[in-house]
Every structure is written in structure tokens, then in C-alpha cells.
Amino acid sequence: MRGTVNRVILVGNLGKDPLREDLENGGSRVSFPLASSEIWSDQSQGKRKQMREWHQIVCLDQRLADMTMRKCRKGTQVLVEGRLRATLVSEGPAQWVRTEIVIDGSGCDITILELSKPTRLKVKKPRVRKN
């Protein structure tokens, strides 16, 4: 086999509002958790089942990061195309591998499929009776 491919395509909903972090090199990154679901019918019980997976998305492309911050909120449905990156994390004696989907250049993209519904509640003005 010649060459390798590191490509991830996910469709899901933002689990939180995107978060922008400034980097030491003057750039910034935008990150957010993305939930994707798999639904199937359990033949033995005759019920629909669902399994949700959480993915950490990290956007380093400034154009896409700006668009994500402007237009995406918790609940927004997006299609993410990126690459998988695993990093060894150490905190004291504990170590684990953090896996992220990175959007950082050619072949990477975020497409908004459905905007989330506004979460603001409309406050009704009290009516004043005129006598």
C-alpha cells in the first residue's frame, strides 16, 4: 500500500458553545465538543437503541474559526472534515491519550447544516390598562 490517509468526516451537534483560545504564536484556536449518534433497532427486544459518541473538535484555520465563532452555538448541526490527532497528556502520575479532530488546512472544512434555535426567552412587556 502506498501512502496513508488520515481523514475524519463527522456529522453531529455542538455540545457547547465554541471556545476561542489565544496561542503563543499570535494565532488562535477554536474548540468545541461534537456529539454524533448511531441509531439501530434491537431485534431481540424490538426497541430502537441509540449510542452517542463525543468528539473534541479543534479548528486552527482562522477563516473557519471566525465563521464558527460567529454562526455556531450549542446545538448547531455541522459536518466536520478534518484529521485525527492523538496526544499523550500527563497530569501528575496520571497519563492518558487525548484524541481530537483537527481542522487546519487543505481538505479540512466545517459546514453548517442546521443552525441551533435561539435560547433567549422573549420577555413580554406588562400591559398597562387605560381607564
Tens of pLDDT, residue by residue over 68-85, are 999 999 999 999 999 999
pLDDT at residue 26, rounded to an integer? 85
Question: Could you report how far apart the first and last alpha carbons of the chain are, in Å?
Answer: 86
Whole-model pTM? 0.80
pLDDT at residue 130, rounded to an integer? 62
| 3-class SS string, 55-105 | EEEEECCHHHHHHHHHHCCCCCEEEEEEEEEEEEEEECCEEEEEEEEEECC
The stretch 49-66 carries a mean pLDDT of 94
pLDDT at residue 129, rounded to an integer? 58
Alpha carbon distance 28, 50 (integer Å):
35
